[in-house]
A and B are shown apart, each in its own frame.
Chain A
């Protein structure tokens, strides 16, 4: 079985630009969550999608938005990038909304300059 795949692995953007990060969930998983991890910190929950519907959101502004597609892959979109958005963005998938654990991808390292 394949794991969680994220693309791209690294990205450099300019302040004010928009970015889209992509995630392919593990086969058989219908739940996808996104996390932001600043350097030296634990991951912070952004939002979760279950069967294409958002069913949980962390303390992030509306310029962070997402989608989940019928094949359960997902996108994270960030508008009006700020320097503080520089971080590792992690995608995690699970079945049954994570009751038995999440599988994380290796993340996308976003640098905003």
Chain B
């Protein structure tokens, strides 16, 4: 199973952008990069996913390196409600399980 590496924790100030990095040097050509986040006392929540090109949605942006060995989740303006554990996950395009690592715990200061 392909693995990802993320910092254990990060801090941000409210209303500032946040860049959450993820390394996945063993990514294969059929792996999609998925991001989920888990707020306290809740199940994980889908954030965004991509294969090769950068992706944007209402929640965040995903920037994928040209060699696909790393990616960055971008929250454009952090709010207090964005405080959560963010998981970067590689998932084969054919289907199958999500393999969660430890994730990055993001704290947002007012």
Contacts and interface: CB of A to CB of B under 8 A. Distances in A.
A45 B43 contact: no
Contact of B46 (A97, A102, A105): A102
Contacts of B93: 99
Contact of A42 (B45, B49, B103): B103
A76 interface: no
A41 interface: yes
Interface stretch (B21-29, B74-82, B94-102): B94-102
Contacts, number: 56
Contacts of B95: 55-56, 97-99
Contact of A43 (B41, B44, B49): B44
B91 interface: yes
B24 to A, nearest CB: 15
Contacts of A33: 97-98
Contacts of B99: 45
Interface in A56-109: 56, 58, 90, 92, 97-107
Nearest to A4: B43
B34 interface: yes
- Nearest first, the 4 A-B pairs at minimum CB distance are A104-B43, A42-B100, A101-B46, A45-B97
25 contacts: A4-B43, A33-B98, A35-B100, A42-B85, A42-B100, A42-B102, A43-B44, A43-B98, A43-B100, A45-B97, A45-B98, A56-B97, A90-B43, A90-B44, A92-B43, A97-B96, A98-B96, A98-B98, A99-B93, A99-B95, A101-B46, A104-B44, A104-B45, A106-B41, A107-B43
Interface of A: 4, 33, 35, 41-45, 48, 55-56, 58, 90, 92, 97-107
Interface of B: 32, 34, 41-46, 49, 85, 87, 91, 93, 95-103
